[in-house]
Amino acid sequence: MNVMLPGTDKTTSVDPAPIISLRDIRKTFYRGTLAVEVLHGISLEIQAGEFVAIMGASGSGKSTLMNLIGLLDRPTTGSYRFDGSEVAALDADGRALLRREAFGFIFQQYNLLPTESATANVEMPAVYAGLPHGERVKRAEALLTQLGLADRLDHKPTQLSGGQQQRVSIARALMNGGAVILADEPTGALDSKSGEEVMRLLHDLNAQGHTILLITHDHDVAAQANRIIELKDGNIVSDRPVEHHGEHAEPIPSPAQPKRPERNRKTGFAPFDVLEAGRMALQALRSNLLRTLLTLLGIIIGVASVVAMLAIGDGAKQSVLDRITAMGTNLLLVRPGAPNIRQSGGVTATLTAADADAISAEVGNILAAVPEYTGNVTVRTGARDYVTQVNATTAPFPVAREWPVAEGIFFSESDVKSYLPVAVIGQTVVNNLFEGVDPIGRYVLLNNIPFQVIGVMTPKGATPWGADQDDIIYVPLSTGMLRLFGQRYVRTITVQVQDVTRINDTQEEIRQLLIARHRAEDFQIRNMASIIETAMETQNTLTILLGSIAAISLLVGGIGVMNIMLVSVTERTREIGVRMATGARRLNIMMQFNSEALAICTLGGLIGVALGLSVTWLFSYFGRPVIFSAEPVLLAFFCAFATGLLFGYLPARKAADLDPVVALAAE
């Protein structure tokens, strides 16, 4: 650059500030307690637009120097200024951002992702720079076309020759601009013709203004640069310009205006990152389909188990509650015998029909108080005999128990007072004695005493403890007590409460009334509401148990996902290094691998929900009680989603914490 000297009319040439400036750079590696210093105080400057070859034998430190210059590693001590800014102490993300803005890497082994096309490999740096998909595809295709690969855009690395793969690597290095191109033995794995093509491309890039740093041990390759820096045992032993004479058949072009890295690109987090992470995650899962399906299986089974078991558990709970509710939810059952004393059998002479009348007359909030006496009898009609139960009760029984008559009528209060021998029978009795015959108006013998059938009760089903409620005959209390049982005491008084919210107060009023009548507490009162509450708590406990067992299978599936993801990180260590070299930050790597775990668990959750609902439907098809509801489905799905986040975090963090240099060196 020409500048005017102060106080004169003369100009002089002044070199601009170097793009790379190293001062007393040292690098020490530690192997346990052993410290090995590889670089011993390296100092050098490289101007923008130079073509520099760094030479040295194996172990001389040239690859370590390249890693430091390319910000894949950091020096132990010393100053590294890039484009005028100190960068030696940058953290991992800071180095990643600068690599993305300023550097392009060309590796000896190409380091292309085997599952991606040539275009996708070239796109990679622009993904982390935040370039929209359409724009980066267009730029990647343009670069590949310029490098003679227009007919290989969709080819994967295994479908390309070594020279073609290296050209894809060069296009990738240029994707974000690549002000500085770091070429590590770019011709080392190529035949001579392909090597010449790669060197010609590097000269062309240098002529366009790119700074080229060529790492090589080949003197002939190094001689094509404009400057050679030679390393030996971690020291610079030679730094000389190269004068090109007639020995080169093709002249080395002069560089154009040197390229400086573009700044102010995207550095923060954006929704775009999530979308790209998801896209890359799906691509990675597609590339290893069998392992993905096996990993999905654990999540599918876990989610399906949660959905099916909770639906079946809720169905069983509702079935039990329906049976208890069918007995009446607003009932108080008064039984003879002192509280907390189990009766050994027979009838305890404490309750009478007069007690029921007193409850109806003197206690508020009562709809009905029905005395009952139940006993076994033999019923006969024609040539058929059948043993069943007879319940001697009063006219309000159907109202108190909310159990209507299906056919005929129930006996009235006048029938009770008149001691009429009439009967109302249950559906099971009808099925056993009157198969295909209308029982209304016919007579049956109860313990050889004739009773006329005047009604048939609505089918009720079994009790929660399995007793058949339809296997019974109802007769007037007066008739049954006198002619069938010879008793004046009752077994039960069923009290129907009007306002269920006051059932506990009503229970206490009845208790006090009966204590006053009997002068002792020789009875027990059972609250049906409390029975239902106890049954519900029991069923909830069983449902939680079933859900917990299913959740354990989901947990096992999550552990399987974490295990597979850890294996995936180990297998793809080099890929991670390549992504870091092209500008991926820790956040990008974490998002990619966590997205893979999340994609597995989300897809497994959806399939598991569908499978669980199918199993539940199958149970209902065969008559098992189930309840379809959104809560278990959403719970199972979001548990699977959370499993992906939780169990994907550790593998993702392990991937993000990898050192780029170590990752690139992985086999």
Q: Residues 261, 280: one domain?
A: no
Which of 239, 265, 291 is the last residue before a domain boundary?
Answer: 265
Q: Residues 492, 364: one domain?
A: yes
Q: What is the pLDDT of residue 479?
A: 93
Q: Residues 88, 160: one domain?
A: yes
Q: With respect to residue 458, please indicate whether it lies within any of the assigned structural domains.
A: yes
Q: With respect to residue 626, please indicate whether it lies within any of the assigned structural domains.
A: yes
Q: With respect to residue 126, please indicate whether it lies within any of the assigned structural domains.
A: yes
Q: Identify which of 116, 127, 122, 164 has the alpha carbon closest to the alpha carbon of residue 141.
A: 122
Tell me if residue 290 falls in helix, strand or coil.
Answer: helix
Count CA atoms closer than 13 A to 154's CA, side-chain side: 0
Q: Identify which of 171, 241, 176 has the alpha carbon closest to the alpha carbon of residue 204.
A: 171
Cα–Cα dist 352/355, whole Å? 5
Cα–Cα dist 260/255, whole Å? 13
Q: What is the pLDDT of residue 545?
A: 73
Q: With respect to residue 211, please indicate whether it lies within any of the assigned structural domains.
A: yes
Residue 445: exposure state from Cβ atoms within 10 A (0-12, 13-18, ≥19): middle
Q: Residues 579, 512: one domain?
A: no
Which of 496, 521, 546 is the last residue before a domain boundary?
Answer: 521
Q: Residues 373, 245: one domain?
A: no
| CB of 608 closer than 8 Å to CB of 301 | yes
User: How many domains, the chain?
Assistant: 3
Report, as ranges of residue numbers, the positions in the chain whose pLDDT lies below 70: 1-16, 244-257, 259-274, 317-318, 320-329, 340-348, 463-466, 529-536, 538-539, 542-543, 546-547, 550, 667
Q: Identify which of 8, 17, 113 has the alpha carbon closest to the alpha carbon of residue 576.
A: 113
Q: Alpha carbon of 41 to those of 56, 77, 238: distances in Å? A: 16, 9, 14
Q: Residues 286, 234: one domain?
A: no
Q: With respect to residue 46, please indicate whether it lies within any of the assigned structural domains.
A: yes
* CB burial string 510-520: b at 16+ within 10 A, e below: bbebbeeeeee
Which of 242, 265, 288 is the last residue before a domain boundary?
Answer: 265
Cα–Cα dist 368/374, whole Å? 19
Cα–Cα dist 262/598, whole Å? 35
Residue 533 burial (CB count, 10 A): 11
Q: What is the pLDDT of residue 530?
A: 64
Tell me if residue 34 falls in helix, strand or coil.
Answer: strand
Q: With respect to residue 329, please indicate whether it lies within any of the assigned structural domains.
A: no
Q: Identify which of 607, 610, 611, 601 has the alpha carbon closest to the alpha carbon of residue 639.
A: 601
Supply the range of the domain harboring residue 226. Answer: 19-265
Q: What is the pLDDT of residue 326?
A: 55
| CB of 490 closer than 8 Å to CB of 372 | yes
| CB of 87 closer than 8 Å to CB of 81 | yes
Q: With respect to residue 11, please indicate whether it lies within any of the assigned structural domains.
A: no
Residue 204's domain is classified under what CATH number?
Answer: 3.40.50.300
| CB of 447 closer than 8 Å to CB of 441 | no
Give the H/E segment covering residue 51. Answer: strand 51-55
Q: With respect to residue 10, please indicate whether it lies within any of the assigned structural domains.
A: no
666 is written with which tokens?
């992985």
Q: Residues 254, 167: one domain?
A: yes
Cα–Cα dist 315/546, whole Å? 13
Q: Residues 298, 371: one domain?
A: no
Q: Residues 297, 374: one domain?
A: no
User: Given phi > 0 = left and psi -120 to 50 = alpha, else beta, which region is 111?
Assistant: left
DSSP assignment of 351-364: -BHHHHHHHHHH-S
Cα–Cα dist 454/475, whole Å? 10
Cα–Cα dist 13/110, whole Å? 40
Residue 220: exposure state from Cβ atoms within 10 A (0-12, 13-18, ≥19): exposed
Q: Residues 120, 158: one domain?
A: yes
Q: Alpha carbon of 225 to those of 49, 123, 237, 259: distances in Å? A: 12, 29, 17, 18
Residue 192: exposure state from Cβ atoms within 10 A (0-12, 13-18, ≥19): exposed
Give the H/E segment covering residue 332. Answer: strand 331-336
Q: Residues 619, 642: one domain?
A: yes
Q: What is the pLDDT of residue 532?
A: 61
Instruction: Give the single-character DSSP code of 638.
Output: H
Q: Residues 413, 370: one domain?
A: yes
Its pTM stands at: 0.65
Q: What is the pLDDT of residue 602?
A: 85
